[in-house]
């Protein structure tokens, strides 16, 4: 049982990453498609109860935003994997309204293992198509 959380700016490619890597094996939990938090919570609950692998495809910019999914998935015995999906901000702005991207960019905090992730990955679109996926490196503050 695997819970995957995608984090990143609007227009960064999160949904494309879902389609490319997870659509055949994971349920898509996406607030844009579900339209309301109660619908999202209902789908998440069904996945947790049935032991279905799922991907949360939202911006998830802060630890508090991510905790609503991480905590519940861990409590249900799921492996929790995070992906920071990044793109040049100019590309994200070209895909979405700039003011929306800017607001999310100001709130975005890189995920860290201490939030409850079993694995963390960094995903960027590869030149010529596809994805470059590498471990997400986190370094502690120097002071």
* Per-position DSSP letters for 14-64, written without gaps between them: HHHHHHHHTTTTSEEE-HHHH-SHHHHHHHHHHHHHHT--EEEES---SHH
Q: What token pair was written down for 90? A: 């100019």
The Cα 80–Cα 120 span in angstroms is 9
Query: Does 56 reside within a domain?
Result: no
pLDDT of residue 100: 58
Binning pLDDT at 50, 70 and 90, where does residue 137 land?
confident
pLDDT classification of 121: cutoffs 50, 70, 90: very high
CA 107 to chain centre: 15
Domain count along the chain: 1
| 123: in domain | yes
Does the pLDDT value for residue 96 go beyond 80?
no
pTM: 0.87
- 107 domain residue, yes or no: yes
Task: Give the contacts of 18 (CB within 8 A, at least 6 positions apart).
Answer: 6, 26, 28, 30, 55, 57
Of the listed ranges 19-23, 32-36, 97-101, 106-110, the least confidently predicted one is 97-101
How far separated are the first and last CA of the chain, in Å rounded? 38
Choose among 19, 5, 32: nearest CA to 125.
19
Per-residue model confidence (pLDDT) at position 142: 53
Closest CA to 55 of 95, 84, 22, 31: 22
For the chain, what percent of residues have pLDDT higher than 70?
86
Q: Kindly give the interhelix angle for 37-50 and 63-75, rounded to the nearest 10 degrees.
A: 30
Tell me if 26 is assigned to some domain: no
| Inside any domain, residue 48 | no
Look up the domain containing 123 and give its range: 79-137
Average pLDDT over residues 131-136: 92
Closest CA to 117 of 1, 27, 4: 4
């Amino acid at each position: 049982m695997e819970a995957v959380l995608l984090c990143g700016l609007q227009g960064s490619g999160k949904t494309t990453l879902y389609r490319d890597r997870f659509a055949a094996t994971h349920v898509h939990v996406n607030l844009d498609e579900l339209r309301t938090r109660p619908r999202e919570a209902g789908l998440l609950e069904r996945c947790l109860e049935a032991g279905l692998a799922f991907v949360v495809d939202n911006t998830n910019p802060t630890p508090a935003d991510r905790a609503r999914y991480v905590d519940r998935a861990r409590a249900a015995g799921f492996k929790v994997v995070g992906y920071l999906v990044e793109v040049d901000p100019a590309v994200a702005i070209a895909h979405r309204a700039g003011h929306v991207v800017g607001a999310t960019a100001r709130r975005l905090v890189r995920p860290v293992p201490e939030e409850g992730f079993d694995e963390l990955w960094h995903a960027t679109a590869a030149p010529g198509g596809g994805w470059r996926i590498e471990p997400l490196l986190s370094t502690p503050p120097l002071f």
